[in-house]
């Protein structure tokens, strides 16, 4: 296996790892208001997220940007909560395509900006893998491609489930959005409350 392929696999495994499900929750939050028929919009949305995390992943991995990882681990679930809360205000359009675009327009810059934060989180893992390795272009590219492939699979699974629930089981679309987003908010709050850095900041640590 080439170095590129090895890091591609590592990137794919990292984004799809159920033990570190915070990034999965974010992708789910992004996709919650869509179904399979909206796949083009979702691709644009995920691309905005990818651009964001690619920028900071490259900058942080090469040492050009350095941020306290404790803050990043705390901010990631915050980005998930904000994205999921936006879903509660989503309006399913009756017929007007333009109305849907107007209501959901903030999702694109949010995805880009939050991608910057997630990229810093990805970089912590990648730097640990690289160690003192001098050549980082192939590992960085392979890891990023692996992340993208993993994201697309998560997107496909979420959109497929939404299609089955809404189209086959006839669940109201807003009910599906609210239930899924509520679950995501709850799980993200748990990540924050169990974050040791947050507990120290809030004075909740038990000695």
- 207 within some domain: no
Cα–Cα distance, 146 to 207 (Å, whole number): 40
- Report the range of poorest mean pLDDT among 71-75, 90-94, 107-111, 145-149: 90-94
Q: How far apart are CA 81 and CA 197, in angstroms?
A: 18
Does residue 201 lie in a domain region? no
| Of residues 130, 123, 146, the one with CA closest to residue 13 | 146
Instruction: Assess if residue 98 is contained within a domain.
Output: no
Sign for the CA dihedral angle at 84, 85, 88, 90 comes to: negative
Could you read off the pLDDT of 172-196 as tens digits, one per residue? 999 999 999 999 999 999 999 999 9
- Gap between the Cα atoms of 57 and 201, Å rounded: 26
Tell me the pTM: 0.92
Q: Distance between CA 203 and CA 155 in Å, rounded?
A: 38
Residue 205 within a domain: no
- Number of structural domains (the chain) is 1
Q: Is 204 inside any structural domain?
A: no
Question: Could you tell me if residue 174 is inside a domain?
Answer: yes
**What is the extent of the structural domain holding 69?**
3-90+106-194
Cβ atoms of residues 61 and 123 within 8 Å: yes
pLDDT recorded at residue 135 = 82
């Amino acid at each position: 296996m080439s170095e590129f392929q090895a890091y591609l696999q590592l990137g794919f495994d990292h984004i799809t790892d159920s033990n570190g499900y915070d990034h999965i929750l974010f992708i789910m939050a992004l996709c919650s208001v869509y179904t399979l028929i909206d796949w083009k919009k979702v691709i644009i949305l995920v691309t905005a997220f990818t651009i964001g995390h690619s920028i900071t992943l490259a900058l942080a991995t090469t040492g050009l940007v350095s941020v306290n990882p404790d803050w990043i681990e705390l901010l990631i679930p915050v980005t998930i909560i904000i994205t999921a809360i936006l879903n509660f205000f989503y309006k399913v359009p009756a017929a007007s395509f333009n109305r849907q675009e107007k209501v959901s327009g903030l999702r694109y810059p949010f995805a880009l900006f939050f991608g910057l934060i997630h990229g810093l989180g990805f970089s912590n893992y990648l730097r640990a893998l690289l160690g003192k390795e001098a050549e980082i272009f192939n590992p960085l590219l392979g890891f990023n491609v692996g992340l993208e492939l993993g994201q697309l699979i998560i997107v496909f699974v979420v959109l497929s489930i939404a299609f089955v629930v809404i189209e086959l089981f006839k669940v109201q679309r807003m009910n599906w959005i609210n239930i899924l987003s509520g679950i995501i908010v709850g799980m993200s709050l748990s990540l924050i409350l169990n974050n040791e850095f947050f507990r120290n900041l809030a004075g909740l640590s038990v000695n």
